[in-house]
Amino acid sequence: MRFSKYILLCLNILLLVSGVCIALNEVNEDTVKFLLILCILCFGLVHLGSYFYFRKQFTDFSDEMCYYIEEILHGNSMKRLQNKETLTSKIVMELEKVENIYSFQLSESKKDKKELQEMISELTHQIKTPASNIQMYCEMFSDTDISSLDAKRFAEIIRQQLKKLEFLLDILVKSSRLETEMINLEMEDGKIVETLAIAVNSVIQKAEHKNIDISIMCSPSIQVSHDTKWTAEAIENILDNAIKYTPPNGKILIFVEGGEMYTEIKVKDTGKGIEAAHVNDIFKRFYREKSVSKNEGLGLGLYLARKIITLQGGYISVRSILGEGSSFSVCLPNRIPK
């Protein structure tokens, strides 16, 4: 770069000397010749002066920007440059905005990671309790003097502890999938009805326990490019959420409709509904309404569902009326997103 600078300078001097030589050879009158040489020299000096001046301005600007970037990286505020109509001020303000955005994202990422680590640590600790209880009551069954009444009571306790263990392991598995790198999609054309069957079969026992009817309205011919396993996981989380907050003898309807750009999977329930103020919060990680804090869960299901669908180029929306139920719309693109 520096070598090119000197070549350019030499070319400018050569051009100036060449102009003087041409003027001396072409003009015979001394006065005209003098004036012409003077003009050429002035032009050359102005040109060289301009080069050095703008080079100095560029160097000063670069040094100034480097200084301000260092200040921003060290967390120093640039408020003294606000409201100044200069190029430096505008660039520094934009850089400071970018730095603030990345600092906030980094802070949120660290916060989420810490919460996730604490939650997994807590879950692994809680898993030990039902596992120990199951082991203890299994050992009691080996006692030959145990009565039939005690045997039934122990069996019921073991069943409850197994249910709690299953719940904790389910949350632990979902937690491990929260990172994008853990979700490896294999996109291929497949029938939506088959994906829905996988999701429904995973929650059918919970629905039967509350006498909740699950109906599917989907044409067997509807196909869309999607990852069957992960999409079924997303639908299962939505269904699990619907079953959890739908009272006994309720209904859940799954309706599928193909569109020009998206295929919509609508899951409609007759549950308690969601307050309008919290509709935008339900997809946040670890979010749970205070009114449902007594129910099992850690607020991971819907967050994971949205992540899975988003990674496939789709989206999830929800409409809800408090006291009447909710309707979740899962939209998958009909073509593989590039």
CATH code, domain with 313: 3.30.565.10
Least confident span in 106-110, 138-142, 295-299, 309-313: 295-299
pTM here is 0.57
Residues 138 and 239 in one domain: no
**Band of pLDDT at residue 1, cut at 50, 70 and 90:** very low
Residues 7 and 140 in one domain: no
The 3-state DSSP class for residue 329 equals: strand
Residues 148 and 228 in one domain: no
Residues 125 and 55 in one domain: no
269 vs 67, higher pLDDT: 269
pLDDT for position 93: 74
Q: What percent of the chain has pLDDT over 90?
A: 20
Residues 323 and 189 in one domain: yes
Does residue 138 fall inside a structural domain?
A: yes
Task: Kindly tell me the burial class for residue 205, based on how many C-beta atoms sit within 10 Å of its own C-beta (0-12, 13-18, 19 or more).
Answer: exposed
Total domain count, the chain: 3
37 vs 169, higher pLDDT: 169
Tally of residues, the chain: 338
Does residue 106 fall inside a structural domain?
A: no
Mean pLDDT score, 31-42: 66
Q: What percent of the chain has pLDDT over 70?
A: 72
Inter-residue long-range contacts of 30-39, CB under 8 Å, 24+ positions, other chains counted: none
**Cα separation, 156 vs 314, whole angstroms:** 44
**Band of pLDDT at residue 276, cut at 50, 70 and 90:** confident
Mean pLDDT score, 142-164: 80
Residues 322 and 244 in one domain: yes
Does residue 60 fall inside a structural domain?
A: yes
pLDDT for position 197: 93
Mean pLDDT score, 112-120: 72
**Cα separation, 301 vs 221, whole angstroms:** 29
Residues 225 and 313 in one domain: yes
pLDDT for position 128: 76
Check whether 3 has a pLDDT greater than 60: no
* Domain-terminating residue out of 58, 76, 94: 76
* Domain-terminating residue out of 131, 150, 176: 176
Does residue 81 fall inside a structural domain?
A: no
Check whether 26 has a pLDDT greater than 80: no
Amino acid at 95: L
Check whether 265 has a pLDDT greater than 90: yes
Does residue 291 fall inside a structural domain?
A: yes
pLDDT digits (tens, 9 = 90+) for 244-261: 889 999 999 999 998 888
Mean pLDDT over the full length of the chain: 78
Residues 201 and 304 in one domain: yes
Residues 190 and 307 in one domain: yes
Check whether 299 has a pLDDT greater than 80: no
Least confident span in 175-179, 244-248, 313-317: 175-179
Does residue 103 fall inside a structural domain?
A: no
Structural domain for 15, as ranges: 2-76
254 vs 292, higher pLDDT: 254
Contact 20, 37 (CB under 8 A): yes
